[in-house]
Chain A
Amino acid sequence: MGGAGMKIAVLQFPGSNCDQDAFQLFGGGLGLPTRYVWHKDTSLGETDLVVVPGGFSYGDYLRCGAIARFSPIMRAVQAYADRGGLVFGICNGFQILCEAGLLPGALIRNASLEFRCLTCALRVEDSTPSFNPRVLGPVIHIPIAHGEGNYRIDEAGRARLEANRQVLLRYVDNPNGALADIAGVRNERGNVFGMMPHPERAAERFHPSQDGLAVARAVLATRFPGLLRQTA
């Protein structure tokens, strides 16, 4: 499987603001058929990857992602993930997936209380056959832009994350106080991915790096391993 013709669905909530960038990453950068799915829709249609983009869904009221988690479309995303479908949450999308219980842990206010917006060096962990330093290189550079990216999980949860190699990325220089420098995780089954850094802001020539393209490919290659050979 080369992965040609993989279909991508990008969710849109009121307050999403990285949806168009995510669309451009998959539709433009990777050249895959990509479409938007509105939060009030109840079905995802035919898709090989659901992207939950960044932004401030529902104004981040109550907690980041807390309201979006109960959107009609999230019931379909839950069922899709339960069937083993690929889901990728970025920034606010990561927060939504944690709130929905599709990913372990939670994201709280940055330790500095500041909104941090900068390009971060990220250490790639050996997590899956497609998401590891051999595929992505030991360190990649991707921008962050968030006020609540401070990853938290209890000790038992942290131990499970480490034992199952569920940590995808760690900050080289921790910008937000995240536990164990965690910048991104996957679920135990390996079909749901989430990260605070923005790969869709590291894809074009005018971006600070193009490492986001490889990250998007690594997520897709979970289901379509041929994608890696194609681009190697």
Chain B
Amino acid sequence: MKINVFVTPKKNVLDPQGAAVGHALESLGFPALRSARVGKLIELDVGADDTAEFRAQLDRVCRDLLSNPVIEDYRYEIPKS
């Protein structure tokens, strides 16, 4: 089972990397940019079934390790294969 975990800076947290990327986009003439935010994509390949217990474990590692809830949000997608 493939899982994509997306970790992004919280909306109200300053994102210096996103700001720098935004400035670069503007300098390339990219039109009408409102904002740019930089996060991470973590691709997992797991040999487990998608059960409620597994989802609970996945949420736990997303909270404890893959993201820092003080500054980041996470969400994940489990693409239909």
* A interface list, Cβ under 8 A from B: 62-63, 66, 70, 98-99, 105-106, 108-113, 150, 152-154, 177
Contact = CB atoms under 8 A, between A and B. Distances in A.
B58 interface: no
**List of 8 A-B pairs having minimum Cβ-Cβ separation, nearest first:** A106-B70, A109-B16, A106-B71, A111-B16, A113-B16, A113-B20, A106-B68, A152-B71
B6 to A, nearest CB: 14
Contacts of A110: 16
Contact of A99 (B9, B66, B68): B68
Interface of B: 9, 12-14, 16-17, 20, 65-66, 68, 70-71
A112 B19 CA distance: 10
B23 to A, nearest CB: 10
A105 B70 contact: yes
B65 A152 contact: no
Contact of A62 (B9, B16, B17, B65): B65
Nearest to B13: A152
Contacts of B12: 154
